[in-house]
């Protein structure tokens, strides 16, 4: 199949009329997937609400028609499960897919790079802004950093390439000023790859009425101009923003969210771990009526990757740092 045929398939199956940038990406992606240049990498950057997830789902669901397989990856367990949910395909952490973990004599874990046995495969890596290339990680990783190992693994496979997906407005890795996995010069200079790239910056029509997205976009523009101190949230005029002025309003809002949606689909963003503990304590005692330290139905966050306890084909898949687990009994 040539690129024009694959482009027509992507265009036909895309659930909306694509924006100009989306259409350009579909054309570039069709060429990237169907050509024989193995030393290419594609970097897809995009603002929130610009349709990255819709585009990636469309490509993943139709790669087979171009004679290609796919592997979905993300740097954390939470991010891997997000991409799995929106694509309706299995996804893995980068660590889970590319490494053999080995326990050291002192009880630590080191990683040995697996051989890439995939052929004719496109590796799609979401939340790539979090992938580090810092030397500080060299004690753990075979080639010096997670990004080094990821590139080495993918391109050691037969006819394998990689699409990196992310948002440059998100925080870069710790101790980095930029996100190296989304930086064009990193791949050209350090890995000698030909870089195809595009940044989606047109917010899709169905997202225009979101107050959350409006404020995120305004903040992004101020970040570009370096006048972030002047930012003020716009709270009025949006259906997805409600200002709560006292504790009674907050409790009513939490009760309503738990009843109309679920505990799993309700989240709080607070400024510190101390504040998070205060909220969690009040919610457990005042709303959920749970007095003991741990109760059936509690949700907990995994804080350390688990590589050894579960079988490869376990129904639970894998347990990764950042996963949310429920106490069943």
Last residue of a domain, one of 237, 255, 286: 237
Same structural domain for residues 259 and 291? yes
pLDDT tens sequence for the chain (329 residues): 899 999 999 999 999 999 999 999 999 999 999 999 999 999 999 988 888 999 999 999 999 999 999 999 999 877 888 899 888 999 988 988 998 777 667 666 667 889 999 999 999 999 999 998 876 544 566 667 889 999 999 999 999 999 999 998 787 787 777 899 999 998 988 899 999 999 998 877 656 688 988 888 888 888 777 677 778 889 898 988 888 888 889 999 999 999 999 888 888 889 999 999 999 999 999 899 998 888 998 888 888 767 666 665 555 555 766 777 889 98
Nearest to 241 by CA among 255, 229, 253: 253
Same structural domain for residues 140 and 232? no
Contact (CB, 8 A) for 198 and 26: no
Contact (CB, 8 A) for 76 and 319: no
Q: Give the pLDDT score at 209.
A: 82
Same structural domain for residues 57 and 136? yes
Last residue of a domain, one of 183, 204, 225: 204
Reduced to 3 states (helix: H, G, I; strand: E, B; else coil), residue 34 is: helix
Same structural domain for residues 187 and 230? no
Q: Give the pLDDT score at 166.
A: 94
CA distance 67 to 157: 16
Same structural domain for residues 226 and 318? no
Same structural domain for residues 318 and 200? no
Same structural domain for residues 105 and 41? yes
Last residue of a domain, one of 161, 179, 204: 204
Same structural domain for residues 194 and 242? no
Same structural domain for residues 194 and 64? yes
What value does the CA radius of gyration of the chain take, rounded to a whole number of Å?
A: 22
Same structural domain for residues 81 and 225? no
Q: Give the pLDDT score at 311.
A: 62
Same structural domain for residues 56 and 200? yes
Determine the structural domain holding residue 27 and report its residue range: 3-204
Contacts of 216 (CB under 8 A, 6+ apart): 48, 49, 169
Contacts of 28 (CB under 8 A, 6+ apart): 42, 196, 198
Tokens 């496979």 correspond to: 157
Same structural domain for residues 227 and 243? no
Q: Residue 247 to residues 65, 83, 269: CA-CA distances in angstroms?
A: 55, 35, 16
For the chain, how many structural domains are there in total? Answer: 3
pTM for this entry: 0.81
Query: Where do runs of H (alpha helix) occur along the chain?
Result: 3-13, 20-34, 52-62, 77-87, 94-98, 146-155, 184-190, 211-225, 247-260, 273-282
CA distance 41 to 166: 14
Residue-wise pLDDT tens digits, 104-117: 676 666 678 899 99
């Amino acid at each position: 199949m040539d690129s024009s045929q694959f482009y027509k398939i992507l265009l036909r199956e895309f659930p909306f009329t694509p924006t100009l940038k989306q259409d350009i990406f579909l054309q570039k992606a069709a060429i990237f997937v169907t050509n024989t240049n193995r030393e290419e990498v594609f970097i897809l950057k995009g603002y929130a609400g610009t349709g990255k997830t819709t585009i990636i789902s469309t490509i993943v669901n139709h790669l087979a028609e171009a004679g290609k397989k796919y592997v979905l990856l993300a740097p954390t367990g939470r991010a891997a499960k997000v991409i799995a949910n929106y694509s309706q395909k299995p996804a893995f952490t980068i660590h889970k897919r590319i490494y053999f973990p080995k326990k050291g004599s002192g009880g630590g874990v080191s990683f040995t790079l697996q051989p890439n046995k995939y052929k004719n495969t496109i590796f799609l890596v979401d939340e790539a802004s979090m992938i580090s290339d810092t030397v500080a990680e060299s004690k753990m990783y075979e080639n010096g950093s997670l990004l080094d190992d990821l590139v080495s693994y993918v391109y050691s496979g037969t006819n394998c390439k990689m699409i990196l997906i992310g948002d440059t407005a998100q925080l870069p890795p710790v101790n980095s000023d930029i996100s190296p996995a989304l930086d064009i010069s990193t791949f050209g200079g350090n890995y000698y790859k030909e870089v195809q790239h595009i940044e989606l910056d047109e917010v899709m029509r169905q997202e225009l009425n979101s107050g959350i997205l409006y404020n995120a976009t305004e903040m992004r523009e101020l970040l570009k101009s370096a006048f972030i101190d002047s930012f003020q949230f716009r709270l009025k005029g949006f259906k997805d923003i409600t200002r709560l002025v006292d504790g009674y309003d907050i409790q009513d809002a939490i009760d309503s969210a738990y009843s109309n949606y679920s505990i799993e689909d309700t989240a709080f963003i607070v400024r510190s771990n101390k504040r998070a503990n205060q909220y969690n304590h009040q919610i457990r005692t005042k709303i959920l009526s749970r007095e003991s330290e741990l109760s059936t139905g509690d949700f907990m966050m995994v804080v350390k990757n688990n590589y050894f306890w579960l079988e490869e084909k376990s129904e639970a898949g894998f347990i990764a740092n950042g996963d949310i687990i429920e106490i069943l009994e």
